[in-house]
Structure 1
Amino acid sequence: MLPVPVVQELILQRVTPLGVEKIHLYDSLGRVLAEAIVTPDPIPAWDNSAMDGYAVALGDWQLTPEPVLTILEELPAGKIPQKPLQPGFCSRVMTGALLPEGTEAVVMQEQAEVLGGDRVQLRGYPRSGQFMRKRGEFRSSGETLITQGTAITPAEIGILASLNKLQVPVYRQPLVAILSTGDELVPLGVDPRSGQVLDSNQPTLMALVRQCGGIPKAMGIVRDTPEALITLLGQCADADFILSSGGVSVGTYDYVEAVLERLGAEVLVRQVNMKPGKPLTFAQWGQTLYWGLPGNPVSSFVGFWLMVYPALRKAAGHPHDWLPKEMTAVTTAALKSGGDRRHYLRGRLTWQDGYHFEPFGLDNSGNFANLSQVNAFAVLESGQTRVAAGCEVRVVVL
């Protein structure tokens, strides 16, 4: 059995970011930027006012501390100034308005008294440059605004929109073919007979892939014969990744590894020192990466987060932080393990004067009923059989 960190590193070594595509700005939320975004022009592109008020030349205050000035023109945002400032004159400006030539400061309207007509008396002693946004003050021309590898959030969409970037270069999302193995499985919508099981793994894995930035492709259920699996895998040629659940243990009808080897795939992982999820296959078949996850729903769920999620992130262009985040929390109840291998116990991470982990109990790999609201796994290492309530434990955050 290989240790979890060794398997994670081995998988990540086989993953490279996928090709680049251009998509519409409105479709880019959550995607990873494939090129740095550089501003062609200074930001701001022109001197403009940061306040509603009056654009002034400071020389007027040398004559009198509260000068009465004549308003030359009114400048709302978007209007081009027509008259440069001269001694004894000012311009009425609104926030964002272009500033006329000769402006040395903006006096906010709260420090002004309109005397009637086009006359205004200004109070206070303005500083040079106050309430002015000067050309290039925020960014110079040619400066990087968004670095390559940035996951696009609404903030980045706003920046891209300000640069009129309607087409955005992003890394392609991994296409993930998903299939379930087992004669006992029936698809959703069918009433299972005695001994049959509804296929819950496939919709779960599809949702996980979609949540984590991939494109799921449902391939259905494959029966427990090598020929059936070979036929279905032949329909996955366009996939970047293939995920199957079931068929990776040592039972008579567990054919996944044998089929992969028969097809010429390089099987790199067969078992992992973890619970749940010990039987886990990872292989490379040509350019396609293959994960054979256990059939037990919880084992499949845990295996996805630890072994598939990091690969999805790297393939989608994230430059780092591929593995799930880990942190320390205080467990609200005692945690127990057999100690034979690293154990991942599911539960909920909350904050109340510190992080707390609430285990959900009955940690059986077939007990999918308590997966609801799981957002973390507590980690007990090999040889560690107990963590008492109120003690710290390492947790993996989903």
Structure 2
Amino acid sequence: MTDGTPISDPLAPRDAAIAGFALDGTVKGVPPGARLSLADIASQGWRLPEMPLPLAVLRVDVLRRNARWMAEFAQRNGLSLCPHGKTTMAPQLWNLQLAEGAWGITVATAHQLQVARRFGVKRVIWANQPIGRIAVDAAFDALRDPDFDLFVLADSLAVVEGLAAGAARAGLSRPLNVLLEVGAMGGRTGARTVETALEVARAIAAAPGLALAGVEAFEGLLSETAQVDAFLGTLVATARACAAEGLFGTEEVLLTAGGTAFFDRIGPRLAAAGDLGRPVRRVLRSGCYLTHDSLGYEQAYRRMRKESIGLDYPPGDLRAALEVWAHVQSVPEPGRAIITCGKRDISADTGWPVPLRLLRDGDLAKAMPFGAFHKVTGMNDQHGYLIGPADGLLRVGDVVVLGVGHPCTTFDKWQVIPLVDEGFRIVGAIRTFF
């Protein structure tokens, strides 16, 4: 490595497609006039805030702690962790999660599956229905690698029909593992009743080239813990019904759920399934824990710790690792500042960004926390509106550090995101593959 990073470091850009990724001023966040590869970033001596802003950054010490914390949480509570790779679409970050003990990586599309395979992931849950010949054939093509394990979803007879046709085309000796998906009324995909789910399960079990491997759900769109608990109860009831009919066709049964807002409910609720006649693996698919956030997931985490439903939590807490830095470019009215960060730079789908700290004259040692009265109240493509007391605090040229909500839709705005240490020196970077 040109930057001296130990090759054992999972964040190191080991693959040529990442390490050799050519960077110049046409790549967002790279200084004008620079010409280098991603692997060379750490040796440049760059430091915040002396970079083109806006800039998304990852606090590498927090990132590593979050990865270790969630791996330990899963281990302490009898869960396997298969985090959503779509959150970051960054193979270096997947490597970190796998190095910390993740059982596999979850994807949602055929494209994401290809990225996972390309960068050496060996176990994937495709937490979606493969629809259309290209997607279905991509699933069976992955099975040609004897060292690769894949699970896909089905929630209807039509999906099973498409998968069975793909199995016939592929002519493989090993079956495709299919997870029966259950869903909530008014929600997203998934069979809505145990009776409907059983119909689908029977079709999977009867189809040559397919094996019913377990039951899956996504609870992340629900808003209350009581709703989540009831929904996971449906998953458990469905698994018991499948077991009673002898429909499972794999050595162990997967029971899996997992957004990040309710990861505390998954273990205890899935444990209620009891004996299903063969070993049961309870799989948590949370992805946003890795960077956490400053809005919804932080609130959800505080709710979890307050309710404390008998879980074994590791020491410490999840913390926000992803930030976006921007300049104040105009103070056109008292109490109203325009910042150089908009919807092209940071997520806004779950709430406006949170102003965290203010820096003046590049002095990191004198960074000031924002008070409760400073808020981002809107954004355009490249501008944000920061409102606060008419006290003259904000000046043109100041640097504003913003916390994000829903990290997924910040990651997808950046090809390259620098890794910064505790002194905000840039010590590397990750590449995304959206």
TM bucket, shorter chain: under 0.3
Structure number with higher helix proportion: 2
Q: Which has the higher contact order (CA 8 A, sep 6+)?
A: 2
Superposition TM-score, scaled by structure 2 size: 0.25
Structure label with greater radius of gyration? 1
Structure number with higher strand proportion: 1
Superposition TM-score, scaled by structure 1 size: 0.27
